[in-house]
Every structure is written in C-alpha cells, then in structure tokens.
Amino acid sequence: MFKPHKQHYFAIATITIFIALGFQWRPDPASNFSIAAQAPVGDAPVYHEQFISFSETTAVHAPTLTERDDGKLIAAWYAGTREGAKDVEIASTVIDSSTHTLSPPRAVATRLQTEKDSWRYIRKLGNPVIHQLADGRLMLVYVSVSFGGWAASNLNIRFSADGGLSWGTSKRLVTSPFLNISTLVKGAPVNLANGDVGIPVYHEFMGKFSELLILDQHGKVKNKHRISWGRDAIQPVIVPVTPTRAITMLRDSGEKDKRVGFSQSDDNGLHWSPPEPLELPNPNAAVAATNTSGSEVIMVFNNHEDERNDLTLAISKDQGNSWRIIHEFEREALQAGKKTEFSYPYMIRDRSGEFHLLYTWHKKRIKYIHFNQAWLEQIQ
C-alpha cells in the first residue's frame, strides 16, 4: 500500500497553493465595455439630498443602487444591530428620483434565507451590490460568512424578474479554487457589450488584492482578471472610458503613503497596470466614481489620511491621471469621544445622464444625493 512521505505532502500543498494563486477561467475572449451616452447639461442645475433609511435598525452600512427599466432606482444596504451581527439582513427601498419619494423598506436577503437556500450554515451577511441586467432582471450579489471573519467570505447571487418585489433562490458563486473563500464586493458592476457583467471584487486572505469577476446573465462565473497584487489595494471601482479602456480607483488598506490607488486597462479589463498612488489621500476607506462625458471622471472620497469626517467630490479631465477638488458633500469637525463617519459612497449615472450617490451617514442612516451635469458645471 502506498504511504506518502513528507515530500509528497509538501508537493501536494505546493500544487494546491499554485493552483489557488494562478487559476483563471479563460473560456472566452474579453468583451468590450458598454459605454453610456454623454451626460446632457440640461436647462437648470439639479441638486437634492435626503435620507432613505430612518434608524429602523441600530446600524446600517454599505449602500448600493441601480436604475430599473421604469426609471426608478432600487437601493440596498445591510442593516442590523451592528456589523457582523446575526440579525444583519440586506434591506432595500425604491426611490422615485422625479419626486424623491420612497417605498417602505423591505428585506431582500437574510441570514436564515441564505442558509436555507445554500444548505450551509451562515454566520453573518455583509456588503451587497445590486445591478440591472440587459434583459431587465435585477441581480443581487452579497457577502456571507460561515466561519471566521471577512477573510473567509463567500459570494451569493439571486435574481428578481419583477423589479425587486420578489427574489429567486440564492446561489453560491464559485470564485476561487482554494476553498472558495475570501471574495468580497463593494464597487458598482459594469456592463459588457456581449451582455456579460463585470463585478469588481477583492480578497483579504493570503494577501489583499483586487480582481474583475466576469459573470454571464445567468450568474455563471466565466472569467476573472487580476487587478492588483500585494496587501494594500482593495475595493476597486471601475470606470470604462472607451469601449476597450477602463480605469480603476482603489482603497488603500496599508499603513504608509495613504493614497487612493489608480490602475488602468487598455484591453477590455484583461490586464491592468500596477496600481500607483494618486495625489488624493485615503484613510483606508472606499471610494466611488463614474464618468460624465469623454475623458471626464468624477470621484467621491474621504479627503484625509486618517479620518472619515468628510465626503468630498473631485473631478478629472484626463481619465483619472490628475484630479481637482470641486465640492464637499459633508464635513464635521472632529470631537473627542464622538464618532464622525461618512463612508462607503456608491455612485451611478442613470440613462438620462443624471447622477445618484448613496453613502453611510455615521453608520446610522443611508443618505441619498441626486445631481445633474448642469450642477457639476456650476460648481467648477
């Protein structure tokens, strides 16, 4: 009977790690990015802000939103007594951006429902992203953890064919050959010309790095492309600027030279340049970005190396290479003993070219801001 020696175990472990680090899905060539039309300036500036959650739970965080076929927005976030608590669920509301009215909040994913659907013990839920597919269905991708912390996370996906009124069974995405753990989401998905969806993801196990995950419209993982290496650049936000070119801004989770990371791809997201620091500071916090027209890009970020006591808007006229601050959405003076935090911005452009921003307000509420291109032109 064959008895493996120590060197056999070492070889198996080496091969396993090699596969885990180098495995790629490569059945299809990369598709072009789907680029939205140029944002119209419009007749008058539009700027509106309001809360869309009202302390129904002790804590809320990680908002996301997308535009439905009827022109209304559907937003989601996680809500519960605290981050990582067993009672955390993914809450949702529908926003009519023409009247700024809201539907009553409702749960679109829960821990027990995910546990039942996946036949797996679920300890906690985390970040969601919601996105409308080319065929009009809504896709919800969200984080769950069965054991350990966020580094042991999985991704789940479910679909809605009725604008978010009802949702199908949650399924677990297979995103990694190594135990299928440590894939998380934060940034807005991007549409591809062939109908696929690119989802910015990141990992926190055996390093911290970012990837672009490619799904077909049925939620099948078709491919993934590495964006960063190392232990610092996570939570990528991808902005297509041409059908083949995209840029990404990244959260810096390091301890030195705390700056927003910047990378770019000229081949449909297949390959990305090594992330480089921008001049903009980053206090280990998420950013949000979208394009307005041509080479112009806007970004929302915390303009500080260590604190999240502001939320600032910057603009780039050269596809992300240089930036200029043009507005502050929030700023509060730091006070001893008081937690001040504006964080996790999420921003999209709708089909009419107007902009919609969500963010966490002191981890107690979700705040919504709606503005248009004319307002952007006015404040520059």
Say if residues 199 and 129 touch (Cβ distance below 8 Å). Answer: yes
pLDDT at site 306: 94
Write down the pTM of the prediction.
0.92
CA 361 from chain centre, in angstroms, equals: 17
R_g of the chain computed on alpha carbons: 20
Residues 348, 72: Cα–Cα separation, whole Å: 13
Task: State how far the Cα of 340 lies from the Cα of 363, in Å rounded to an integer.
Answer: 9
User: Cα(first)–Cα(last) distance of the chain, in Å?
Assistant: 77
* Interacting residues of 185 by C-beta distance below 8 A, sequence separation 6+: 127, 128, 129, 141, 142, 143, 155, 199, 200, 201, 202
Count of CB atoms within 10 A of residue 23's CB? 12
Instruction: Find residue 93's DSSP bridge partners.
Output: 75
Give the pLDDT band (50/70/90) at residue 29: low
Distance CA 192, CA 107 (A): 29
DSSP conformational letter for 333: -
Q: In which residue are the tokens 């107007």 written?
A: 354
90: pLDDT strictly greater than 70: yes
Mean pLDDT of 282-293: 95
Query: pLDDT (tens digit, 9 = 90+) per residue, 129-165?
Result: 999 999 999 999 999 999 989 888 999 999 999 999 9
Contact 223, 214 (CB under 8 A): yes
Q: Considering only CA atoms, which of 208, 210, 209, 83 is closest in space to residue 143?
A: 83
DSSP for 121-179, written as a single string:
---EEEEEEEEE-TTS-EEEEEEEESSSSGGGEEEEEEEESSTTSS----EE----SST
Residue 9: pLDDT over 80: no
- Rounded Cα gap, residues 144 and 379, in angstroms: 41
Residue 292: which of 331, 229, 239, 221 has the closest Cα?
239
What is the tens place of the pLDDT at every residue in 198-214? 999 999 887 899 999 99
Question: Domains, the chain, ranges and CATH?
Answer: 53-379 (2.120.10.10)
Mean pLDDT value across residues 45-74:
96
Please give the pLDDT value at position 300.
Answer: 98
Per-chain mean pLDDT for the chain? 90
Mean pLDDT calculated for residue range 86-90: 96
Query: Mean of the pLDDT values across residues 32-37?
Result: 80
Whether the pLDDT of residue 26 is over 80: the answer is: no
Tens digit of each residue's pLDDT (9 = 90 or more) over 343-357 = 999 999 999 999 999
3-state helix, strand, coil in the chain (%, to 5): 10, 45, 45
| 22 confidence band (pLDDT: 50, 70, 90) | very low
Q: Cβ(249)–Cβ(235) under 8 Å? A: no
C-alpha closest to that of 91 among 111, 121, 116, 71? 111
At residue 179, does pLDDT exceed 80?
no
Q: What is the dihedral of CA 309, 85, 210, 264, to 10 degrees?
A: -40
Whether 187 has a pLDDT exceeding 50, the answer reads yes
Cβ atoms of 340 and 319 closer than 8 Å: no
Give pairs for 299-307: CB < 8 Å, separation 24+: 299/237, 299/249, 299/260, 299/323, 300/329, 300/345, 300/347, 300/357, 300/359, 301/260, 301/345, 302/342, 302/343, 303/328, 305/258, 305/281, 306/258, 307/283, 307/334, 307/340
303-344 tens-digit pLDDT: 999 999 999 999 999 999 999 999 999 999 888 777 889 999
Amino acid letter for position 303: N
**Could you give phi then psi for residue 106, rounded to 5 degrees?**
-145, 155
